[in-house]
Amino acid sequence: MPGFRPVVAVLCAKPDDRPPGLDDLPVDFRFCDADGLADAVRGAQGLLLWDFFSTAVRDVWNDADALEWIHITAAGVDTLLFDELRDSAVVVTNARGVFDRPLAEFVLGAVIAHAKDSRTSFALQARHEWRHRETRSITGATALVVGTGGIGREIATLLRAAGLHVRGAGRRTATDDPDFGEIVSSAELSTHAGWADHLILAAPLTDATRGLVDATVLAAMKPDAHLVNIARGPMVDEAALLDALITHQIGGATLDVFDTEPLPPEHPLWEAPNVTITAHMSADVVGWRDELAAQFAANARRWLAGEDLHNVVDKKLGYIPGGQ
């Protein structure tokens, strides 16, 4: 229709936290926070979730009377999906590809820091204490990466380049995968966890992965094994993990995601032995917001031209098919 400009609602966490670089798009944007989303989405054809942790969409679903497309600026879509959206014709796209390398770098850094016992070094430095000791090499160490999508594959690539032996764990098994070599069944994780010096979680949160790392998996891990979670907190049974750390059933953990975020100050994981905690920031490198906005703008141009969108999520599966 000549002169028609589609409306895109943009959900922001704060009024001044708007995506950059969208001014040249022939779209009428309605910027809002969660309180204003119902009004903003009414009559809108598109919705950009710049506040990608929000669960507000389900609360205003009845107001989304013209919605065709939702783009979430995150790799995981677990906070967005609900039954009515899954059953609708609304297309969902995500930020696949933006976070792969930063997350892989974070994991490699975590693996090196654990092998070199950096926590002890920092503690000794704080006490001005000089103590010579030996640490471990990562060359020849083993890493099992749970999640064989783009993020998991980038992690495998970096870890292999650093000299580790890597396997994947996913829904489908393989013996000749180009990135992992062998892929084992994530549904049988307790059978395979004992192989790994580093167990790395990089899968989407779905019904199949929720609570995946439980007491049984933790008991199957090596006594000096290292758990890395850059996926979603609910993939791990936190009570079982805490017990495994306190009893030295495993060697340590690097945790970037948690059941409750922010992690409450009184949470016992803060004081657990051999744990490194970061604030859900493993993918957030300088310039990441610009890249997220540019990715949305490129997809918006496809949408406006009637072309196929990139990064279309299978709403039933909860991720983009191909791997996992």
Domains contained in the chain, CATH given: 7-98+286-304 (3.40.50.720), 100-277 (3.40.50.720)
Model confidence pLDDT, tens digit, residues 4-44: 899 999 999 987 899 999 999 999 999 999 999 999 999 99
pLDDT of residue 75 exceeding 90 = yes
Quick one: CA dihedral 172, 175, 181, 185, positive or negative? Answer: positive
pTM: 0.95
| Residues facing 253 on adjacent strands | 227, 275
Assess whether 289 carries a catalytic annotation. Answer: no
Model confidence pLDDT, tens digit, residues 212-239: 999 999 999 999 999 999 999 999 999 9
pLDDT of residue 3 exceeding 70 = no
Per-residue model confidence (pLDDT) at position 322:
76
| Residues facing 183 on adjacent strands | 168, 174
Q: Is 112 exposed, middle or buried (0-12, 13-18, 19+ CB in 10 A)?
A: middle
Per-residue model confidence (pLDDT) at position 15:
79
Work out the percent of the chain whose per-residue pLDDT is above 90: 97
In this prediction, residue 2 has a pLDDT band, given cuts at 50, 70 and 90, of low
pLDDT of residue 120 exceeding 90 = yes
pLDDT of residue 157 exceeding 90 = yes
Per-residue model confidence (pLDDT) at position 16:
85
Per-residue model confidence (pLDDT) at position 212:
98
Cβ neighbours for 31, distance < 8 A, ≥ 6 positions apart = 10, 12, 15, 18, 40
Where b means 16+ CB within 10 Å and e means fewer, 279-315 reads ebebbbeeebbebbbbbbbebbeebeeeeeeebbbeb
Please name which of 267, 266, 220, 262 lies closest in space to residue 239, comparing C-alpha atoms.
267
Please name which of 150, 147, 149, 257 lies closest in space to residue 203, comparing C-alpha atoms.
147
Phi-psi region of 146 (alpha: psi -120 to 50; beta: other; left: phi over 0): beta
Model confidence pLDDT, tens digit, residues 129-154: 999 999 999 999 999 999 999 999 99
In this prediction, residue 250 has a pLDDT band, given cuts at 50, 70 and 90, of very high
Phi-psi region of 124 (alpha: psi -120 to 50; beta: other; left: phi over 0): alpha
- Which of 71, 96, 198, 232 does the annotation list as catalytic? 232
Radius of gyration, alpha carbons of the chain:
21
- Which of 160, 280, 289, 301 does the annotation list as catalytic? 280
Mean pLDDT score of the chain: 97
Assess whether 30 carries a catalytic annotation. Answer: no
Q: Which of 39-53, 169-183, 271-285, 310-324 has the lowest mean pLDDT?
A: 310-324
Cβ neighbours for 254, distance < 8 A, ≥ 6 positions apart = 110, 113, 114, 226, 227, 228, 229, 275, 276, 278
Per-residue model confidence (pLDDT) at position 268:
98
pLDDT of residue 294 exceeding 90 = yes
pLDDT of residue 324 exceeding 60 = no
Cα–Cα distance measured from residue 225 to residue 253, given in angstroms and rounded to the nearest whole number = 8
pLDDT of residue 312 exceeding 80 = yes
Where b means 16+ CB within 10 Å and e means fewer, 31-70 reads bbbbebbbebbbebbbbbbbbbebebbeebbebbeebebb
